[in-house]
A and B are shown apart, each in its own frame.
Chain A
Amino acid sequence: MMILQPIIVLLGAAAIIPLIDLLGKKIGFEKIRDIVAIAAFLIAFIILYSFFGNLPQSFTIDPYGPPLGVELRVDNLSLYMAIIFCGLGLLVSIYSIKYMEVDSGLDKYYSLLLILVAGMIGVAFSNDFFNLYVFWEMMCVASYTLVSFRKYKWEPVEAGFKYLVMSTIGSLISLYGISLLYGLVGSLNFTKLHSAIETIYGNGSAPLSLLYLVICMIIVGFGVTAAMVPLHTWLPDAHPAAPSSISAMLSGVVIKTGVYAMFRSLFTIFHPKIFDFGTILMLFGVLTITIANFMALMQKDIKRLLAYSSIVNIGYILVGGGIGAYVLTHYGLKEASIAGIAIIGSLLHILNHAISKGLLFLCSGCFTHEAKTRAISKLEGIGKKMPLSGLSLSIGLFNLAGIPPLSGFWSKLFIILASLSIPENNFMLAISIIVILNSIFAASYYLWLTQRIMLKKPTEIVEKVHEAPLSMVFPIIVLAILCILITIKLDLFIKIVELASNNLLGGV
């Protein structure tokens, strides 16, 4: 039952917040709903933290367990992801107290934010494909609305609708893939699917092309939410249009849920030694990094630039996972350590990007909250007027640029090292050269943005601004400290990520 607790706490709070809001209005203290949301996130975070050391754990309703019943399972990987989701949710809810106070309907906002995080944690805990899909849909419904929350402007409505259409098509593609798997095996439990697919491949009872079709459907279906090029077109519209607190959630964790669902289903069900999905992931990853990098360079809107940068970083994560799978397919277990390094790099980059991009979007929210504009040209020199936000933004940008010794450098280094560790393989050499060149290219516009924000003479608009309120600056400082803390305690974080990567490669 313990596994369900963080989800039930978040959903319970989501259900009671509208009533709490009514109570708050009665007593003249509306912020009570914000406090309840923060308390729920905090309780869920504490429960998740208490899982450490007691893993893996499974939950089924006796006697209705697998293969027919639902199974929730927590291992190091799902806990790692869930803690990132819940942690960022907690900071975003604190940030929202002041940032969202100009808006009405905040009871719905907090309810949907709690449902969003509950859905993501549910996806991480699911050990059953249909259950994963149900949690996935819950997450999606909440995220569409949160993107369009400021519906009094044209931009969020258009972006939300685009996101709704594209994400729904993606979800349906993945559902079709799931239904094909159910038709082949008669169960949707991951553990059962893992052994059944191997048996089906062994006795040739299903054509290989059908199994590859399922793999492609899973990659494309979850790839829409992961914002993988060419399925990314919703993201550059949705992330800038959403309130900055929601942009931080979307870029920081929601798109990672897509990557997690993709990695978890592919690595767990389809044995990388048999199915070469690593090549597909790598090619998509490289395409994603390259195209998004060029697009980012052309942006004049700070949030739009950060949105394209999110797509770039999803590319790195996909390349890392792809290298891990590719090595296992073509070199077997004798090079399993290289696969492990690539997966560690990929998972560490998930953490780095979640923290850094959350930080950057919250910082841009502080800037737009004070200066009322998203144009980089008008935000020049704002770091001098808002030193805490500006300095935090610089730390986040340096981390994503991969400036040593920050942890962003190490996660990219692991991915590149893994690709260079394979001898006499021109394909992998080409992949690593493209990734290295793109990393340098990306660093250039991160540093360009830092220079514009921190070193330029303040513009006329910027001259009038002041530092954002404390409740908005506090989560930013926490995230900036986390960027540095991961660097200082890198060995500890690599150990945690290594345990998570072992779970991902556990089926191998």
Chain B
Amino acid sequence: MRLEKILSIIIAALILIVASFYAIDFSKFIPIPQSLGNPSLEEEPYFIWTYRSIDVFIQGFIVFASVAAIAALFRIEKGEGAMEEAVIEEPIIEEKEEEEYE
């Protein structure tokens, strides 16, 4: 019962997050620069945070993905993991050479 409640709360929170995007105008949080002519990075230091803010947001997630990736590849494995026999097409070259040498 307790577990079901927690599950319901999480799924409800997810749905609320989704629903909130209908209501909130995120552009209000971004400062509007003085001139909107043809800004260069030197003139408008906030160019990246305004014009390219979606890119910056996604780049942040690339960093998150990289952290998750490194954490996944350096995790400590418990148990044997998946057993799946691959097909090795050819004998290893060094073995062949050793046989020839002998």
B64 touches A68 (CB 8 A): no
Interface majority SS (helix, strand, loop, mixed), chain B: helix
The verdict on A152 contacting B77 (CB below 8 Å), with A9-B17, A61-B54 known, is yes
Is A70 among interface residues, defined by CB-CB distance under 8 A? Answer: yes
Known contacts A70-B55, A103-B82, A112-B72; A304 and B50 CB within 8 A of each other: no
B-chain residues with CB within 8 Å of residue A385 when the two chains form the complex: none
Inter-chain contacts of A104 with B (CB < 8 A):
75-79, 81
Q: Are B71 and A68 in contact (CB under 8 A)?
A: no
Tell whether, in the assembled complex, residue A304 and residue B55 are in contact, meaning their CB atoms are under 8 Å apart.
no
A374 engages B85 (CB within 8 Å): yes
* Contact A43 B75, beta carbon cutoff 8 Å: no
Give A8's nearest chain B residue, CB to CB.
B21
Contact across chains for A374 and B87 when beta carbons are under 8 A apart: yes
In the complex, the answer to whether B87 meets A304 with C-beta atoms within 8 Å is yes
A1-28: CB near B (< 8 Å → 1, else 0) gives 1101100110111110010100100010
| Contact pattern, B 33-52, Cβ under 8 Å of A = 1, otherwise 0 | 00010110000000100111
- Determine the chain B residues whose CB is within 8 A of the CB of A115 once the complex forms: 61, 64-65, 68
Question: Which residues from A are CB-within-8-Å of B47?
Answer: 68
CA distance A145 to B67 in the complex (A): 11
Interface check A122, CB cutoff 8 A: yes
B100 at the interface (CB under 8 A from A): no
> Restricting to A28-85, which residues have a CB under 8 Å from any CB of B?
29, 32, 35-36, 39-40, 43, 47, 61-64, 68-70, 72
Which listed residue, B3, B14, B61, B69, touches A13 by the CB 8 Å rule? B14
Which of chain B's residues have a CB closer than 8 A to the CB of A69?
Answer: 50-52
B72 closest partner in A (C-beta): A108
Q: Mark B78-92, 1 if CB is under 8 A from A, else 0.
A: 111111111101000
Q: Is the CB of B69 within 8 A of A372?
A: no
B55 touches A61 (CB 8 A): no
Shortest beta-carbon distance from A9 to chain B in Å: 6
Within the complex, which residue of A36, A141, A155 is in contact with B69, where a contact is CB–CB below 8 Å? Answer: A141
Once the chains bind, are A70 and B72 in contact (CB under 8 Å)? no
Most buried by B among A64, A72, A111, A374: A64
Interchain nearest-CB distance for A350 vs B (Å): 24
Decide yes or no whether A458 CB sits under 8 A from chain B: no
Q: Of A127-135, A414-422, A485-493, which stretch is located at the interface?
A: A127-135
* B93 close to chain A: CB less than 8 A: no
Once bound together, how far apart are the Cα atoms of A288 and B53, in whole Å?
39
By a beta-carbon cutoff of 8 Å, the part of chain B in contact with chain A is 2-3, 6-7, 10-11, 14-15, 17-18, 21-22, 24-27, 30, 32, 36, 38-39, 47, 50-55, 58-59, 61-62, 64-66, 68-69, 71-73, 75-87, 89
Binding site for B on A (CB under 8 A): 1-2, 4-5, 8-9, 11-15, 18, 20, 23, 27, 29, 32, 35-36, 39-40, 43, 47, 61-64, 68-70, 72, 102-105, 108-109, 111-112, 115, 118, 122, 130-131, 134-135, 137-138, 141-142, 144-145, 148-153, 155, 240-241, 243, 300-301, 304, 368-369, 372-375, 378
